Copies of this chain bind each other. A is one copy, B any other.
Amino acid sequence: MSKEASYGRFFSSKAVGAKASMIRELFKALGKEDIVFFAGGAPAPESFPTALVGELAEEVIRDKGNEALQYGMTLGQPELREALLEWLIRKYGFKGDDLDIIITASSQQALDLAGRVFINPGDYIAVESPTYLAALQAFRYYEPKYVMVKMDDEGLMPEDLELKLRKLREKGRSIKFLYTVPTYQNPSGVTMSESRRKELLNLASQYDFLIIEDNPYSELRYYGAPVKTVKSFDDEGRVIYFGTLSKILAPGLRIGWAVGPKEIIRKFEVMKQSLDLCTSPLNQLIAWKYISEGYLEKHIPEIIQLYRPRRNAMIKALQDFMPEGVKWTEPKGGMFAWVKLPEEINTTELLNNALSKGVAYVPGESFYPNRDITNCLRLNFTYEKEERIRLGIQRLSQVIEEALRS
């Protein structure tokens, strides 16, 4: 084959149709030019307990080298699974003797596994509108049909979900699961109220579906009381809970987990065998030391101290610079604010202009399966420092102002 030859004839139809993640592509530009980077979901490197992790790594390899460097169980290292379950039960009130946990290559792998384990082509699943784009990318491979659930300031609207479930039922159909990021949602920053969490569980029982609760952000709480997980109200074993160390320790370890009924976790295990055999035992044991020796609980307040002023700087800058007609959410935790522009502005088309003016964001359409809402954008407020955040929002406001004028 010559250099110009294409390999297209060898690709599966899904590979031909696969689209690169816009964020992953934007990520390639990170740090290359003077661009204020609101596009990622990456923690600030200043938040990493670097020296400590270095010591723990050395310690773990010295004391448990034969486990750390060897193949591990597909379910994960027993020490870490136990420490995490203990933490989740104590802190979030998970209950039931049918709980099991599997360690995954961060939550992205858990999302892919959910697709593998539950979705037949054409099956319905429900997601928030908007929802986390990498979840959509993971599910997409499995060809589900989507039920989009409307959101307001209290998170997803149960009455909208019920309406849609009833219509499906009339057609003899139902959803396999609802995927939600209920706390400091990605991308909107919105948090589901406690009463709605209970309503959601009632609907799950009534319409017989599962709930995937993806909860990477709840520890990053800047204002308000701690938010109870959906899982903590789950009496029927309907909630599969995803967590990760990426936002509260370090994404570089690639450690996440799924907690749920044993029968379901067993399916995750069998499917994970053929994906990667196991997640790095070395990284799992570093995480285990970090958690079981109490560093996690001690370190989270330091991350909050770092991020709260950044969140405030972004809200203040939005207030100071954004032109009339632009709206945004004011999240009490997490990493993201969601900005809604007047409908005539297409944020995907706007992106090149923004990049050339030195500011990066994620266009909102990626957060909708049909990419049919095009006037929103997602801003990350944890990666850049306060002054840079102000500068970036100023730049973005000018780009938007120009677009509104033309």
Contacts and interface: CB of A to CB of B under 8 A. Distances in A.
A320 interface: no
A347 interface: no
19 contacts: A10-B264, A20-B269, A20-B273, A21-B274, A40-B71, A45-B70, A53-B65, A54-B57, A54-B61, A54-B62, A68-B252, A69-B251, A72-B252, A106-B276, A134-B274, A276-B276, A280-B280, A280-B283, A282-B283
Interface of A: 1, 3, 5-7, 10-15, 18-21, 24, 27-28, 40, 42-43, 45, 48, 50-51, 53-55, 57-58, 61-62, 65-74, 97-98, 105-106, 108-109, 111-112, 116-120, 123, 134, 137-138, 140-142, 176-177, 209-210, 236-238, 246, 250-254, 261, 263-264, 267, 269-271, 273-283
A277 B58 contact: no
A301 to B, nearest CB: 19
A376 B177 CA distance: 43
A177 B7 CA distance: 12
A275 B139 CA distance: 10
Contact of A112 (B117, B176, B275): B275
B137 A252 contact: no
B65 A61 contact: no
A68 B251 CA distance: 9
B12 A119 contact: yes
Given A10-B177, A15-B118, A24 B61 contact: no
A42 B14 contact: no
B71 A65 contact: no
A14 to B, nearest CB: 7
Given A3-B98, A10-B177, A275-B108, A18 B252 contact: no
Given A105-B105, A253-B280, A280-B283, 8 more contacts: A1-B237, A5-B237, A12-B123, A15-B271, A45-B70, A48-B66, A57-B57, A67-B252
A140 B14 CA distance: 16
Contacts of A279: 254
Given A11-B267, A61-B57, A267-B15, A21 B120 contact: no
Number of copies: 2
Given A70-B42, A271-B15, A281-B252, A276 B27 contact: no
Nearest to A42: B71
A1 B236 contact: yes
B58 A54 contact: yes
B55 A273 contact: no
A208 to B, nearest CB: 8
Contacts of A137: 273-274
Contact of A27 (B18, B71, B280): B71
A73 B27 contact: yes
Given A10-B176, A62-B54, A252-B68, A277 B1 contact: no
Nearest to A141: B274
A66 B50 CA distance: 8
Nearest to A138: B274
B69 A65 contact: no
